[in-house]
Structure 1
């Protein structure tokens, strides 16, 4: 069985030539199915560029990215979009909810774009919202929900069609400490159920919640270690 994620010697270079910037500099890593990995780095370290690669939002200048054994390194935008829809559930710092839609409609929307029939997408969306503890808030719009609840809607949207990878980009960045703890607990529960979670953060306290911590600095992997203090 191939690894879920395999990155081989990836570089991402901006402004090639005299003033080139190596956002990623010969990065290689493997993530197996069912892992909970945090990728941590300061602003400008390359962690966001790496997230864009892993999320099929960008392509490398050189190197190979295999997802489920399939080379996605140099796909067209349409091909990458198809892979993203099928393989990756995104959780963003800014929630990215549509304000005029209810929680349920926000979760249903990407399923509609994927061509999921109406009854099935309603069923999946209700189940996902119940899963994150929002069964009684489905008809509320984002403005009627707290920040933590909005992020849980975003998590429900990410898990509704059970993608192989959950990719969480600074998921607690806009939340207070209490809501942050709730969101991390929700993400840990999803990992405990067998989902693969990749968490991008600049915060050592958030990274310390993951089972494996990859530190990126100056476009390179500086450390890749198992968190001995990990608990569910």
Structure 2
């Protein structure tokens, strides 16, 4: 398998000195292209810091991070911005939708930043919303949709430009169990279509439905294993 992510002896230290906090403490980690991975940990474990590192939103205090063979610490701010915009689709717990925009306009926003023309933007946004089962709700604003539907819009926004990596931070954290199953079904469909999906969660039930689990505690990788059996999602798995 081709290596997508390689972390070698990565540390992230806040307040260096007597009261320092090691959010990441000598982390070594490889993730291959096309994997479906859950990074699991309690609040304060370091999983959010690790997510920010993987998403090029933050840089290590020490150690090396390679993304597709490129040394992240050697990249310029513009190069890091290009990676975040073109190679990684971010999905957040809080949806981060613009309240006064409808679904299709919300999905189009990142495409504007990529310089994609209006006609092509509308086509890509519509296709992405169809993939997550919201073809009939393109003109609805967030306030007119359920939490699960809003998260689907957020997923459509993340996948509209076809990024090879999906980074999802607690994507089911604000959802009921039915909506959570639906969202996991969509993420599994993205993985099955060839994307690398990295899911950040504190929920062991969620982790059991992912192929590979990486457990983090006190800034260290405590376990890294494959799930022998995944619970099949009873909801519809959306192909992407």
Please classify the TM superposition score into its range, dividing by the shorter chain length. Answer: over 0.9
Equivalent pair of 1:207/1:213 in contact (CA under 8 Å): yes
Residue 2 of structure 1: CA displacement? 5.1
Distance 1:6 1:27 in 2: 10
Instruction: Give the structure 2 partner of residue 120 of structure 1.
Output: 120
Report what 1:46 is aligned to: 46
Residues 2 and 33 of structure 2 are in contact (CA less than 8 Å); yes or no, is this contact kept in structure 1? Answer: no
Name the SS for the 1:73 alignment partner.
helix
Runs of 4+ in 1 over 4 A off after TM superposition: none
Q: Could you tell me which residue of structure 1 aligns to residue 197 of structure 2?
A: 197
Q: Report the alpha carbon displacement of residue 80 of structure 1 after superposing the two structures with TM.
A: 1.8
Deviations along 1:54-74, whole A, 9 cap, x unmatched? 011101001111111111135
Structure 1: tracts of 5 or more residues without a match? none
Superposition RMSD in Å: 1.2
Alignment: residue pair count: 232
1:152 is matched with 152
Correspondence for 1:33: 33
Shift of 1:76: 4.1
CA distance in 2, matches of 1:11, 1:74: 17
Q: Is the 8 A contact 1:59 1:74 kept in 2?
A: no
For residues 69 and 161 of structure 1, the distance between their equivalents in structure 2, rounded to whole angstroms, comes to 22
The answer to whether the Cα contact below 8 Å between 1:2 and 1:69 also exists between their aligned partners in 2 is no
Q: Secondary structure at the match of 2:136?
A: coil
State the secondary structure of the residue aligned to 1:4.
strand
Q: Which residue of 1 aligns with 2:235?
A: none
Per-residue deviation, 1:118: 1.3
Q: Distance in 1 between matches of 2:101 and 2:77?
A: 28
Is the 8 Å Cα contact of residues 12 and 23 (structure 2) preserved in structure 1?
Answer: yes
Structure 2 counterpart of 1:98: 98
Secondary structure at the aligned position of 2:73 is classed as coil
CA distance in 1, matches of 2:68, 2:115: 23
Aligned to 2:170: 170
Normalising by structure 1, what TM-score?
A: 0.97
- How far is the alpha carbon of 1:226 from its aligned partner? 0.3
- Which segments of 5 or more consecutive residues in structure 2 lack a partner in the other structure? 233-240
- Is 1:133 aligned to residue 133 of structure 2? yes
Match of 1:63 in 2: 63
3-state secondary structure, aligned to 1:115: coil
Superposed CA offset, 1:160-179 (max 9, x none): 01111100000001111111
Q: Is the 8 A contact 2:38 2:200 kept in 1?
A: yes
